[in-house]
Chain A
Amino acid sequence: MHKIFIRSLVSSLVFLFTLTVSAVAKDVKAAFVYIGPTGDHGWTYQHDVGRKAVEDAGFKTTYVEGVPESADAERVLRQLANSGHDIIFTTSFGYMNPTNKVAKEFPNVKFEHATGYKREHANVSTYAARFYEGRTILGTIAGSMTKSNVIGYVASFPIPEVIRGINSFTLAAQKVNPNIKTKIVWAFTWYDPGKEAEAAKALIDQGADIIAQHTDSTAIVQIAEKAGIFAFGQASDMDKFAPKAVLTSVENNWGPYYVDRVKAVANGTWDQKDTWHGIGDGMVVISDLDNSIPADVRAKVNQLEKDLASGKVHSFTGPIYDQQGNLMVAEGQTADDGMLAGMMTYVKGVEGDIPK
């Protein structure tokens, strides 16, 4: 009697144990760390759209917004790693060192750092999007539609990511209209509606009739709407903020990648990676084209989007010259990822100097 009781107890315990283990294996929890508020309609907003896709795929998620890149980031990461999260996405460049530091302490938690380059431990992956491919589309539209041949561009910080975008945009615009000039105003912010609006006004005063942006607020498209000129949305589809001005937007589409990675953790197939996806993988998405874009331009853009996706066309195909006329990429060649990652010179046709 006694023995039977113990045996049944042991077997039921074993059963319970296997039950919990299998439950834990499926019950993957993902956490997201954001630099801004989820309502910014730009960078953080799009990451949160991606998080919701993970929720829809049946996983539990947590997020912390407005985490400064100061000493605070490390505490938030450690707290998330400590409270049962299996995979943590850190969605701003400044989280790079804290991510690697905390990853060392929690080898069983997977870390995914956006836009960085350090993968110091086996449980750290990095991911970024080839936004410059989207900017090739924008440049093509801008070059086709400008009348003043002056295109404005509000830039954030002089780092390769931004310079690459300016170059890709300008090269594409020149291809359809060799006379265009890209004028840059550096806002030195990722998100500051006031400063961005000032920058847009300055560009309009300099004769720009189309404005592109590499900052995240909707201020610029709204200024363009008021001034009766065209603009492009950034990060999310900004059409509803300026229906007449916005020709199209380059959307950051993180959802598929996030779902993929969280599923990989659930299946035990997660591995360290350095992901740099573009239009082809769906990480960069072009919003619906505005009706004011003429049919011939529309057809050209649609074809270009397909060719960028298939790899038939590369945004940086030679010959490419810098501002002084030195050859950067020879005819028939394309810039490799190493060159793109460290790009810190303007191509010909961009006005001004990179702030140093």
Chain B
Amino acid sequence: MIKIVKRDQPSRAIFFLTPVLAIFLTLVAGGLIFYILGFKPFEALKFFFIVPIADKYGFSELLLKATPLCLIAIGLSFCFKSNNWNIGAEGQLTFGAIVSGGVALLFYDQEGFYILPIVILAGAIGGMLYASIPAILKTYFNTNEILVSLMLVYVSKLILDYLVVGPWSNPEGFNFPETRQFSESARLPLLFEGLRIHAGIFLALAAVVISWFIFYKTYLGFQMKVSGFSLKTAKYAGYKGKKMIILVFLISGACAGLAGVGEITGPIGQLHREISPDYGFTAIIVAFLGRLNPVGIIFASLVVAITYLGAETAQIFMQIPKYTGQVFQGMILFFLLASDYLLFFKIKFIGSKK
């Protein structure tokens, strides 16, 4: 007989084991789906998770893909840890890219070492400005940050549409919706000849280190943790909630904005309508899969990044529909949430009594 018993305390070991369990269950369920669709499950999984990163180029693409996911997820973990549900990282990414792209376009015919730092800074500021809207509305007008931040995603995409179709469109571009190419000085330097991986990865790594320090070594980190457990306790302890809310949103927005900068000054090199394949939303999965832990987020971003690459490889070599990549992302989140049940409950096997 199986009995489900509530745990006295959430299990620490299970806390870090469930993401692994979730990934394992995703692989099993994924294999099953491939089987039902008529593909050889092990071969399909091989093309999905091994072939895309089997060479140097593939591995560099994995890092390129994981960089924005990691950066945004780190930022989001500031919000999520402290009970602030910023769902609008995609909008903050877009707005950051708009501001930094605007600055890069000002310098389109200039070269100089000073351009790139200004462009990067502009992106961070853009993301912060955009994140400050839901933060201020939440602290001073008690609005729901989930709705506000989510709706602002669509607003940011419309602003981007407007700019690339209208005032910022390339004057030599036959009115197609894209800007000029940025000058070389506004581009993030490539790390290796022939690979697309760029200096943006250092921004992500820096974010990991800094966030680890803040989470576990500072008073702010402690405040966030307490607010995350219980807002009432935080109030009782006398924390200035408003200041903290605005701060975590600003950090989160800056990270998302920098992720946007990484895309447009890295591999893309201009502004157009589609600068991010919804990194801001996928990063939510990454943040939770990584348990809002900076090191965990590194691993989670790599795992989720590979679902993008694998979907392409599987379609090229096995004609598996590319949208299975999104199915995998959904399954990871689903299994993670489901296995979180084990955090609070344990399953006991009891021998049947006669």
Of the residues B61, B174, B266, contact of A75 by C-beta under 8 Å:
B61
A260 at the interface (CB under 8 A from B): no
Cβ-defined contact, B177 with A71, below 8 A: no
A188 within 8 A of partner (CB): yes
Chain B nearest CB, measured from A192 CB (Å): 12
Q: How far is the CB of A71 from chain B (nearest CB, A)?
A: 4
A58 an interface residue at 8 Å Cβ cutoff?
A: no
Determine whether the beta carbon of B196 is less than 8 Å from that of A341.
no
Select which of B267, B309, B313, B317 is within 8 A of A71 by beta carbon.
B267
Contacts of A37 in B (CB 8 A): 323
Q: Which of A72, A93, A160, A342 touches B308 (beta carbons < 8 Å)?
A: A72
Q: Are A97 and B316 in contact (CB under 8 A)?
A: no
Which residues from B are CB-within-8-Å of A356? 166-167
Chain A to chain B contacts (Cβ below 8 Å), 12 pairs: A62-B319, A64-B312, A66-B322, A69-B274, A70-B275, A71-B196, A71-B267, A72-B277, A72-B308, A79-B313, A93-B176, A160-B174
- Separation of A157 and B161 alpha carbons in the complex (Å): 9
Q: Identify the closest chain B residue to A343 (Cβ).
A: B175
Q: Mark A67-102, 1 if CB is under 8 A from B, else 0.
A: 111111011101110010000000001100100000
Binary flags per residue of A133-176, CB closer than 8 Å to B gives 1, else 0: 00000000000000000000000011110000000000000000
| Known interface pairs A74-B196, A94-B272, A94-B274; A157-B177 also in contact (CB < 8 Å) | yes
User: What chain A residues lie within 8 Å of B317 (beta carbons)?
Assistant: 83
Scan residues 14-44 of chain A and give those whose CB is less than 8 A from a CB of chain B.
Answer: 31, 37
Asked whether A76 lies within 8 Å of B312 as measured between CB atoms, the reply is yes
> Contact at B64–A71, with CB atoms within 8 Å?
yes
- Chain A residue at minimal CB-CB distance from B169: A159
Given A158-B165, A188-B161, are A64 and B274 neighbors across the interface (CB < 8 Å)?
no
Taking CB atoms, residues of chain A closer than 8 Å to B313 are: 79
Cα separation A160 to B61 with both chains bound (whole Å): 35
Query: Chain B 136-176, CB within 8 Å of chain A: the 1/0 string?
Result: 00000000000000000000001001000111000000111
Q: Is the CB of A79 within 8 A of B174?
A: no
Asked whether, in the complex, the Cβ of A65 is within 8 Å of the Cβ of B315, the reply is: yes
A308 beta carbon closer than 8 Å to chain B:
no
Q: Which residues of A contact B309 (CB under 8 A)?
A: 75
Docked Cα-Cα span, A83 to B54, in Å, equals 14
Given A83-B316, A97-B270, answer yes or no on A159-B175 (Cβ-Cβ < 8 Å). yes
Say whether A69 contacts B316, CB under 8 Å.
no
Nearest B residue to A66 by beta-carbon distance? B322
Which B residues touch A74, using CB under 8 A?
196, 267
Q: Which of A93, A341, A355 contacts B165 (CB 8 A)?
A: A355
Contact indicator per residue, chain B 286-308, by CB within 8 Å of chain A (1) or not (0): 00000000000000000000001
Given known contacts A79-B312, A342-B174, what 20 new A-B pairs fall within 8 Å (CB)?
A62-B319, A63-B315, A65-B315, A67-B312, A69-B272, A69-B274, A70-B274, A70-B276, A71-B64, A71-B196, A74-B267, A76-B316, A80-B316, A94-B272, A94-B273, A117-B174, A158-B175, A159-B165, A344-B175, A356-B167
Please determine whether A62 and B316 come into contact, CB atoms closer than 8 angstroms: yes
Checking A67, A75, A160 against B175 with a beta-carbon cut-off of 8 angstroms, the contacting residue is A160
Residues of chain B within 8 A of A72, CB atoms compared: 277, 308, 312
Residues of A within 8 A of B273 (CB): 69, 94
Smallest distance from the beta carbon of B171 to chain A beta carbons, Å?
Answer: 11
Give the residue among A79, A94, A355 with the most B Cβ atoms within 10 A. Answer: A79
The answer to whether B64 touches A159, judged by C-beta atoms less than 8 angstroms apart, is no
Instruction: Output the least CB separation between B104 and chain A (Å).
Output: 15
Give the complex CA separation of A93 and B176 in angstroms. Answer: 9
User: What separation, in Å, do the CA atoms of A66 and B263 have in the docked complex?
Assistant: 19
Chain A positions within 8 Å of B61 at CB level: 75
Interface status of B75 (Cβ within 8 A of chain A): no
With contacts A71-B263, A158-B165 taken as known, whether A66 is within 8 angstroms of B323 at the C-beta atoms is yes
Closest A residue to B262 by CB, please name it. A71
Tally of B interface residues using CB under 8 Å: 38
Residue B191 interfacial (CB < 8 Å):
no
Contacts of B177 in A (CB 8 A): 157, 159
Interface centre among B166, B268, B309, B317 (most CB of A within 10 A): B268
Q: How far is the CA of A179 from the CA of B253 in the complex (A)?
A: 53
Question: Residue B330 at the A interface, CB < 8 A?
Answer: no
Residues of A close to B312: CB separation below 8 A: 64, 67, 72, 75-76, 79
Q: Which 9 A-B pairs have the closest CB atoms?
A: A71-B267, A68-B277, A69-B274, A356-B166, A70-B277, A64-B315, A66-B322, A70-B274, A160-B175
**Residue-wise interface mask of B (250-277) relative to A, using a CB-CB cutoff of 8 A (1 in contact, 0 not):** 0000000000000100111110111111
Determine the distance from Cα of A157 to Cα of B160 in the docked complex, in whole angstroms.
Answer: 13
Q: Any chain A CB within 8 A of the CB of B321?
A: yes
Q: A76 CA to B177 CA in the complex, in Å?
A: 22
CA distance A157 to B64 in the complex (A): 31
With both beta carbons as reference points, the residue of chain A lying nearest to B58 in the complex is identified as: A79
CA A303 – CA B187 in complex, angstroms? 55
CA distance A256 to B267 in the complex (A): 35
Q: How far is the CB of A82 from chain B (nearest CB, A)?
A: 8
Q: How far is the CB of B224 from chain A (nearest CB, A)?
A: 32
**Which A residue sits closest to B326, measured CB to CB?**
A66
B165→A71 contact, CB < 8 A: no
Residue of B nearest to A71 (CB): B267
Residues of B within 8 A of A68 (CB): 274, 277
Docked complex Cα distance between A121 and B106 (Å): 29
Residues of chain A within 8 A (CB-CB) of B319 are 62
Partner pick for B321 among A65, A67, A70, A157, CB 8 A cutoff: A65
Proximity string of chain B (175-198) to chain A, C-beta cutoff 8 Å, 1 when within and 0 when not: 111100100000000000000100
| Given known A71-B263, A76-B312, A83-B317, contact A65–B322 (CB-CB < 8 A) | yes
Q: How far is the CA of A80 from the CA of B313 in the complex (A)?
A: 9
Complex: chain B residue closest to A63, CB-CB:
B315
Taking CB atoms, residues of chain B closer than 8 Å to A159 are 165, 175-177
> Chain A residues near B174 (CB, 8 Å)?
117, 160, 341-342
Closest Cβ of chain B: how far from A45's Cβ, in Å? Answer: 14
The complex places the Cα of A89 from the Cα of B268 at a distance, in Å, of: 20
Q: Which residues of B contact A93 (CB under 8 A)?
A: 176
Bound Cα distance A157, B169 (Å): 13
